[in-house]
Structure 1
Amino acid sequence: MARTAGSWAVAICLAVQASPATATAFPGAEGYGATAESWRGGRVVAVTSLRNEGPGTLRACVEAEGARVCIFKVAGTITLDRPLMIRSDVYVAGQTAPGGGIQLRLGRSATGPLVVKNARDVVIRFLKIRPGTGGGVSANIDAVTVENAQRVYLGNLSMAFASDETFNVHVAGSTVRDITLADSILAYSLDRANHPEGRHSKGALICSDQGTGNQCGRISLLRNLFAHHRDRNPDIKATAIGPVEVINNIFYNPISQFGEFYDLLGDTTVAYAGNLALTGRSTTDRAATAVEGFDWSPEHALAIWAQDNLAFRWTGCTTRRPMPVLDPVAQDHPAPAPVRLTVRPMAAPAVEGTLPARVGDVLPGGGHRDSLDRRVLSDLANCQGHVIDAPAQIGGWPPIPAAAAPPDRDRDHFPDAWEAARPGMDPARPDDPWKSLNGTTALELWLAELAGDL
């Protein structure tokens, strides 16, 4: 049940953590993955080619060793024949791409395009990640997979056309923790496509597991839009190392289920605050609540802290009628005390008016926003759209036209106009990207301004 504005404010104020004392990945980075910052001081590597591999490619940067920042001098679609395996200590700065940005899709591959595995301190922002089926039967095509990783921040991603999970956090005989997925679009996963289990349009699977001795938790899902998935909106397990927080997300038009919270991996605590669940044209009567609890393991505890959420069922796409947020099992498993959140949520009624302008690969002023993301946002606004089986049903991959990077005479990766406007910088002199500038470093200031962080 939704709280009144006053009671909501009191509950949230009591439950929000103090800001961490450690450095964050960028101004405004939030959630458990906000401290992914050991790429600082590293090399600046320019992506100058849209090829699958070789010099100047995105693969050459993300699969390298050592601290580094990947910036883009090109725009367009990168077709991958095998996944990008992201190594530690990297910031992939998609906000630097000119024109319409960077889109990742699969050629012939049985695995999704972007995998963060056995890595730490990874930041990936402002990319379009839309795999497709890879051309064969596969149970492993996520848009983004995070496995056995720590301190990972994923933000402003546009994810679509996955045939397994759209987003998957996986643990295999190890630990995964301190992960943030924020301000992203997860949409149009493929249902009757190439998954061996058949119908498999899925949103997010948090803490899937393999092997023994697994620890998984301290994961933040913040201000994301989920649209047009059969189920797993999201599917959550965890262990006692920390909670999973689901804050200020919109979940639109599932077929059969919104959120599914399980205790199969360990003691699972979920904070579910300020979210909006909304049915659509694909939704069946099976999706009757925003959250379903599953207390299936007698040795593990399931604890759900739910505050200030809204859930509605469209009637003929003309009238919204409230529906329950929690099913009976979820209601019977309240957290014994408020969960300490990493962020201060906005009130649930504000989410629908706030998220559309900021989610997905979109820069300040609207740069990078493409027709597929605009379609998702229009679907949400107008009670339109449906779960799909193939990209061709909605026009396929949007073209991302080539575009030139802004002039950089001294080849220090800073645009001439940007350097000319800042004291201490010189467009005719190669400047140190890590030089101090206005209380930060030149590189971090440039990246933050492009992203709208300041």
Structure 2
Amino acid sequence: MPCKVGFGITTPAGSGRNLNPPKTTVHKVTNLNASGDGSLLACIEASGPRVCVFETSGTIDMTELGMVSINNDYITIAGQTAPSPGIMIRGISLRIEASDVLIQHVRVRTGDAIEGRTPGDRDGIYAIGKSDDTSRQPHNLVFDHVSVSWGIDETFTVKDTAKNVDILNSIVSEGLWYNMHPKGGHSKGLMMSAENMLVQGNLMAHHDDRAPLETTPSAITVNNVTYNTRQVAMRLSPLSNNDAHSGKTRTTTVAGNVRLKGPNSEESRDSAWVVVNEDRSGSKIYIENNLCDGWENPTWPCVRVDSEKGESFRVKEPPLWIEGLKVLPADDTLDYVLTNAGARPKDRDEVDSRIINDVINGTGQIINCVGTKNFEYDGRKIDCEAANAGGWPEMAVNTHTLTLPEEINGLDDSGYTNLEVWLHQLASAVE
């Protein structure tokens, strides 16, 4: 991850740089099987520093597993190593309970198969640990250029049990609205509760709400685009809602973001970028230089304050910052995100391409289903004909033989291993 900053960005991930001397194991994913030799799951379930590289493109259908957990620390999943058009992981909630994890250039599409994970807890990506178990509190997590969509609960969740998390240049899209969730209509985007989060350069499109929802004492949210939320874009939910953050004070920096209305954005609702609900005394909130498609608040642009103390928390300078962090002016954010967000932006699949075109053209909608065929679940009819994603994309299966660099564990002058430098080069080629 050269030339980037973040709270978790210094992680060695699967490189083996946490060892002296550095030592990693490269696992080649040679097939699209849900499990077994040469599968992605075999790399995920291995232990020790490891890097998953791909000698095949296509869809890895893990629906039968329901959920796949990354439980062992120090892993890199390098989707940039796959031949075009890259990798899509289908049908699961990808759960991260390990520390020092780097995931790049993969698509996680969860979907609405009846045999999948419990609908009320079917997130796309779910970073979580256990508050009463210090060995299960993941830290140093980096999600860079990932595409995640079609969650039934949240589409992307980072819980308060995690710490030092970066979500960069990614697409979070099309949380399913009226599907199998026990509450009925749901369609939620990104929920961020971990301490020390950087959310930068992402596109969140076609959700009812929570794009994002932030309930953490320390987060920086910059240069993101939210498109076609039925409700608002970002919510600063009060820390008092989260027992894990009891006694902590909020320091929040929000800048350079854009909220664009879409076909489902209700005229009866406001179009603020942020709704501030915080009530924790001593909080410091910086929200400046955002664009919000018609919302008028000359006192605090793009902000609606829904708490008694909220206005008093406004500060003139960012209370939380990272050395070297560069934030674009809001006027430049949309072009940047449309060019750079998601897995393999130079090699996007049809789903991400459609989402990008929706933002450009003001089209698309919040969807109920992945496919077009109506179905029944728990006595309810799910109307897929009216609002769907058009079905699962066909991901071409192509193969190539990867030639690893010599001395993969050797350190380059940059301080990265030779393997990491190679991975950076392959990432640049699809970015």
TM-score normalised to structure 1 length: 0.79
In 2, distance between residues paired with 1:435 and 1:222? 31
The answer to whether 1:444 aligns with 2:423 is: no
2:126 aligned to which of 145, 163, 167: 145
Does structure 2 retain, via aligned residues, the 8 Å contact 1:144–1:168?
yes
2:2 maps to a residue whose letter is P
Q: How does 1:18-29 map to 2 (within 5 A)?
A: 26-29=1-4
CA displacement at 1:83 relative to structure 2? 2.0
CA displacement at 1:39 relative to structure 2? 2.4
Cα deviation code 1:159-191 (max 9, x no counterpart):
1111111110113xxx42100000001111100
Cα deviation code 1:187-217 (max 9, x no counterpart):
111000111111110011111xxxxxxxx41
Cα deviation code 1:352-379 (max 9, x no counterpart):
111111110115xx23x11111111111
Counterpart of 2:164 in structure 1 is 178
2:172 maps to a residue whose letter is L
Cα deviation code 1:83-116 (max 9, x no counterpart):
221121011111001121110111xxxxx43111
TM superposition outliers: structure 1 runs of 4+ over 4 Å: 299-302, 321-324, 436-440
Does structure 2 retain, via aligned residues, the 8 Å contact 1:90–1:123?
yes
Cα deviation code 1:318-376 (max 9, x no counterpart):
xxx7674101345443147522322120111001111111110115xx23x11111111
Counterpart of 1:135 in structure 2 is 114
CA displacement at 1:257 relative to structure 2? 2.1
Counterpart of 1:386 in structure 2 is 365
Counterpart of 1:222 in structure 2 is 200
Counterpart of 1:61 in structure 2 is 43
Cα deviation code 1:416-446 (max 9, x no counterpart):
xxx6xxxxxxxxxxx3212355655331121
SS at structure 1 position matched to 2:35: coil
Does structure 2 retain, via aligned residues, the 8 Å contact 1:143–1:166?
yes
Q: How does 1:1-400 map to 2 (within 5 A)?
A: 26-40=1-15, 41-80=23-62, 81-86=65-70, 87-106=72-91, 112-117=92-97, 119-135=98-114, 138-148=119-129, 149-171=138-160, 175-207=161-193, 216-239=194-217, 243-263=218-238, 264=240, 265=242, 266=245, 267-284=249-266, 285-295=268-278, 301-313=282-294, 324-329=301-306, 330-335=310-315, 338-342=318-322, 343-362=325-344, 366-367=346-347, 369-392=348-371, 393-400=388-395
SS at structure 2 position matched to 1:312: coil
Cα deviation code 1:286-339 (max 9, x no counterpart):
23311111135xx655432112111104xxxxxxx7674101345443147522
Does structure 2 retain, via aligned residues, the 8 Å contact 1:189–1:388?
yes
Counterpart of 1:21 in structure 2 is none
SS at structure 2 position matched to 1:167: strand
Change (3 A) 1:336 1:322: closer
Does structure 1 retain, via aligned residues, the 8 Å contact 2:277–2:305?
no
Does structure 1 retain, via aligned residues, the 8 Å contact 2:34–2:41?
yes
Does structure 2 retain, via aligned residues, the 8 Å contact 1:312–1:322?
no
CA displacement at 1:30 relative to structure 2? 2.4
SS at structure 2 position matched to 1:228: strand
2:95 maps to a residue whose letter is V
Does structure 2 retain, via aligned residues, the 8 Å contact 1:254–1:287?
no
CA displacement at 1:236 relative to structure 2? 0.9
Change (3 A) 1:360 1:38: closer
SS at structure 2 position matched to 1:46: strand
1:288 maps to a residue whose letter is S
2:341 maps to a residue whose letter is V
2:396 maps to a residue whose letter is P
What stretches of structure 1 of length at least 5 have no aligned partner?
1-25, 107-111, 208-215, 314-320, 420-430
SS at structure 1 position matched to 2:334: helix
SS at structure 2 position matched to 1:70: strand
Change (3 A) 1:344 1:311: same
2:68 maps to a residue whose letter is L
CA displacement at 1:55 relative to structure 2? 1.1
SS at structure 1 position matched to 2:33: coil
RMSD over aligned Cα, in angstroms?
Answer: 2.1
Change (3 A) 1:38 1:276: closer
TM-score normalised to structure 2 length: 0.83
In 1, distance between residues paired with 2:270 and 2:90? 31
Does structure 2 retain, via aligned residues, the 8 Å contact 1:253–1:280?
yes
SS at structure 2 position matched to 1:352: helix
CA displacement at 1:223 relative to structure 2? 0.4
Change (3 A) 1:333 1:193: same
SS at structure 2 position matched to 1:203: strand
1:340 maps to a residue whose letter is L
Change (3 A) 1:236 1:405: same
What stretches of structure 2 of length at least 5 have no aligned partner?
16-22, 130-137, 372-387
Q: % of aligned pairs identical?
A: 28
Change (3 A) 1:341 1:360: same
